[in-house]
């Protein structure tokens, strides 16, 4: 399954690419936090760092898996596994979970976390999606949760889209026949980008034509725009080009990182039911929203600007 | 998993050949524990409301929660079948358990969650009181001493030996409550969040703790206690005295106060044992004083 071509091993974690830290907190914070964990144990660690990093002890972050068949016979690859939000719950159901991330510290944390949960079926490695150390047709399920939008941040390809295309092709190669690729990602035209930063760290870039976003990014950040997200049609086109002609889309509420509600994209009735019956109507804003979206053309429009997608393709 | 569920419910004849849509739903709190539930609402191709609700859990390790939920609902439905309260609880249809996956199928509760007005609270309490009267099992032995009943529940609960000892010791310090009441099955988690309202009809959902408590008045107490901060004692007194009158039990004012303590403790023992585990005898007394004013 995993090819033994690693460059080095630290703390029993193989490196298949250079260590590249990422995360909302500075690297030295996580380094120090891990030393607290090693020396003082989980209770002290959690008392000091709960909410500081993007780990969670909640078991609901991989709930998208209910949309596909996953069982004790299956092997999963979690690309960009981070601190294990998907890997931990998946390891409770699957036979083996291979978790790969560019950050050594994150993999080290996940290793500790797996040990704490007595999950011996999680295998961690430091690796880049373009250097994955696995044989073809190794996996039943591959996870790209919050990863595809970052794949273009590489020097290997001139255009971000080419890098994204290649990453999906790699996944296809690694999937067994009949296996599933899951992609959790934002909608390029999400309404929420009106008041939030795009992945580029700049506002409104996802809404812009790519060449305009490029120029704007050069002016603001001194670098090209390479964190592409797409509309539903854009993702379909990308996946088709990568060899997946058929894809299934779900709208995810509140977002793909916490897939509490999975709404089949094709089905407006379920979307309407969620808005009218399942979403809280405690605030005035919500109540107005419910009234507005009781008109189906507006609901259809809202679907196009919904925050994020869970996308499934089958080999 | 959806594909597997769809195949089984078609094989079991729970739906026809029509196209189905599955909407996955979990509450914001679902996921903190391995036994938290995940729901799927199943829609027929032509309908705007779901006709089935599938319940499952994230790990088979906690399958007993789902099995208990299913059989409790079955039991309530048997007790209310063909009577005026048949629709108060949804009907449990089917349980699937293959040792790796477990899920149950229920009909969908009609209506939606609402913020109860004072009139709705009174209306619901009255309905629930008469429902409770209708399910008194004359065959089942009466509870002859409430304190003893609570002690026995603690003994068979999932509390740690240390906490069991603490709560039992606490109970021994209280005056005895030799009150004989009929044993009546309680929902165990009755709150406005677990009641759907449709055209002035009430539908109670979420039966995780049903069939675990048989002390009458427990549900009414918690239904009122959880959602009222002002005037709670008056409302409790009115509602419970009416309730006990209907089920044929005479209770003095002093006994009510003792009952409140028992209801409060039972809730902690059965529904929130993890909170009791953190308590010391001192904090337990403080909590009761703060919350119940006793």
Residue for token digits 């929203």?
A289
**Mean predicted confidence (pLDDT) in B235-241:** 88
Q: Given A66, A89, A273, which is nearest B48 (Cβ)?
A: A273
Residue A284: enclosing H or E segment and its boundaries?
A: helix A284-292
How much is the mean pLDDT over chain B? 87
Contacts of A61 in chain B (CB under 8 A): 31
Q: Give me the helices (H) in chain A, please.
A: 27-40, 42-49, 87-91, 104-116, 160-174, 210-221, 232-241, 268-273, 284-292, 296-304
Question: In A222-296, at which residue ranges do the beta strands (DSSP E only) sit?
Answer: 247-255, 258-264
Identify any residues that bridge with A175 across adjacent strands, giving them in sequence order: A139
Q: What is the ipTM of this complex?
A: 0.91
Name the pairing type of β-strands B201-204 and B195-198: antiparallel
Give me the percent of chain B exceeding a pLDDT of 90.
Answer: 34
Task: With beta carbons less than 8 A apart as the criterion, state whether A2 and A97 touch.
Answer: no
Tell me the average pLDDT of chain A. Answer: 92
Domain with CATH 3.30.200.20 in chain B: 2-107
Read off the pLDDT of residues A30-59 as tens digits, 9 standing for 90 and up. Answer: 889 999 999 999 899 898 888 888 888 888
Taking CB atoms and an 8 Å cutoff, what residues of chain B touch A261?
23-26
A125 forms beta bridges with A100
- Percentage of residues in chain B with pLDDT exceeding 70? 97
Contacts with A260 from chain B: Cβ below 8 Å: 25-28, 30
User: For chain A, what is the total number of helices (H) and then of strands (E)?
Assistant: 10, 10
**Contact map slice: A 295-314 vs B, CB within 8 A:** none
Q: Which residue of B has its CA nearest to A70?
A: B1
- Cis amide bond preceding A254, omega within 30: yes
Chain B residues whose beta carbon lies within 8 Å of the beta carbon of residue A66: 1-2, 24, 38, 40, 56
**For domain B118-292, which architecture applies?**
Alpha-Beta Complex (3.90)
The string of pLDDT tens digits covering residues A84-139 is 999 999 999 999 999 999 999 999 999 999 999 999 999 999 999 998 989 999 99
Q: Which one of A267, A273, A280, A281 makes the best mutation probe of the B interface by having the most chain B beta carbons within 10 Å?
A: A273
Question: Strand runs (DSSP E) across B171-223, as ranges?
Answer: 195-198, 201-204
d(CA B50, CA B108): 7
Neighbours of B159 (CB within 10 A): 22
SS3 content of chain B, % helix, strand, coil (to 5): 45, 15, 40
For residue A282, pLDDT beyond 80: no
Each residue of B160-203: pLDDT tens digit?
888 888 888 888 877 777 788 899 999 999 998 899 998 888 99
Per-residue pLDDT band for A290 (boundaries 50, 70, 90) equals: confident
Which CATH number applies to B2-107?
3.30.200.20
Q: Does the CB of B46 have a partner CB in chain A at under 8 Å?
A: no
Average pLDDT over residues A276-296: 81
**Does the beta-carbon distance from A267 to B21 stay under 8 Å?**
yes
**B43 and A273 in contact by Cβ < 8 A?**
yes
Chain A touched by B248 (CB under 8 Å): no
User: CATH 3.90.1200 in chain B, residues?
Assistant: 118-292
Instruction: Output the CA–CA distances (angstroms, integers) from residue B67 to B104, B129, B185, B237, in the order listed.
Output: 8, 27, 18, 36
């Amino acid at each position: 399954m995993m090819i033994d071509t690693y460059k080095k091993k630290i703390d029993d974690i193989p490196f298949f690419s250079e260590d590249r830290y990422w995360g909302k907190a500075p690297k030295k914070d996580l380094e120090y936090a891990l030393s607290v964990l090693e020396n003082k144990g989980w209770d002290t660690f959690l008392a000091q760092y709960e909410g500081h990093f993007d780990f969670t002890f909640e078991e609901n972050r991989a709930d998208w898996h209910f949309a596909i068949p996953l069982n004790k016979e299956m092997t999963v690859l979690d690309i960009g596994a981070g601190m294990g939000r998907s890997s931990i719950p998946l390891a409770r159901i699957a036979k083996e979970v291979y978790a790969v991330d560019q950050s050594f510290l994150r993999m080290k944390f996940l290793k500790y976390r797996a040990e704490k949960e007595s999950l011996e079926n999680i295998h961690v490695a430091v690796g880049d999606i373009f250097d994955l150390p696995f044989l073809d047709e190794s996996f039943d399920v591959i996870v790209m949760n919050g990863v595809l939008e970052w794949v273009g941040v590489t020097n290997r390809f001139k255009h971000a889209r080419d890098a994204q295309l290649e990453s999906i092709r790699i996944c296809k190669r690694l999937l067994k026949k009949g296996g599933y690729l899951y992609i959790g990602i934002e909608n390029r035209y999400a309404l929420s980008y009106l008041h939030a930063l795009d992945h580029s760290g700049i506002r409104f870039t996802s809404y812009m034509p790519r060449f305009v976003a490029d120029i704007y990014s050069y002016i603001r950040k001194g670098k090209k725009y390479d964190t592409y997200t797409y509309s539903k049609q854009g993702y379909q086109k990308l996946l088709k080009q990568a060899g997946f002609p058929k894809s299934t889309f779900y709208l995810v509420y509140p977002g793909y990182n916490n897939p509490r509600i999975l709404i089949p994209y094709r089905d407006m009735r379920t979307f309407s039911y969620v808005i009218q019956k399942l979403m809280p109507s405690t605030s005035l804003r919500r109540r107005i929203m419910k009234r507005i979206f009781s008109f189906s053309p507006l609901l259809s429009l809202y679907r196009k600007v919904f925050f994020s997608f869970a996308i499934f393709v089958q080999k | 998993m959806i594909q597997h569920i769809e195949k089984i419910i078609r094989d079991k004849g729970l739906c026809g050949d029509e196209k189905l849509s599955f909407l996955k739903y979990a509450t914001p709190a679902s996921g903190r524990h391995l036994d938290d539930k995940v729901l799927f609402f199943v829609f027929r191709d032509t309908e705007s409301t779901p006709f089935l609700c599938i319940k499952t859990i994230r790990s088979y390790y906690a399958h007993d929660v789902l099995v208990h939920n299913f059989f409790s609902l079955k039991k309530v439905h048997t007790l209310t079948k063909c009577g005026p309260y048949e629709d108060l609880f949804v009907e449990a249809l089917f349980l699937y358990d293959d040792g790796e996956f477990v899920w149950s199928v229920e009909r969908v509760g009609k209506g939606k969650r609402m913020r109860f007005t004072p009139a709705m609270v009174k209306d619901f309490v009255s309905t629930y009181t008469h429902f409770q009267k209708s399910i008194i099992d004359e065959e089942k032995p009466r509870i002859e001493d409430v304190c003893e009943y609570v002690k026995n529940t603690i003994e068979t609960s999932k509390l740690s030996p240390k906490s069991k000892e603490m709560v039992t010791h606490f109970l021994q310090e209280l005056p005895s409550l030799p009150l004989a009441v009929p044993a009546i099955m309680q929902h165990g988690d009755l709150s406005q969040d677990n009641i759907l309202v449709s055209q002035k009809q009430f539908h109670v959902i979420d039966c995780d703790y049903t069939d675990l408590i048989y002390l009458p008045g427990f549900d009414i107490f918690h239904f009122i206690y959880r959602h009222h901060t002002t005037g709670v004692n008056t409302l409790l007194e009115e509602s419970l005295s009416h309730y006990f009158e209907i089920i044929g039990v005479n209770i003095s004012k002093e006994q009510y106060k003792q009952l409140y303590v028992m209801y409060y403790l039972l809730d902690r023992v059965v529904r929130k044992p993890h909170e009791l585990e953190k308590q010391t005898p001192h904090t337990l007394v403080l909590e009761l004083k703060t919350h119940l004013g006793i």
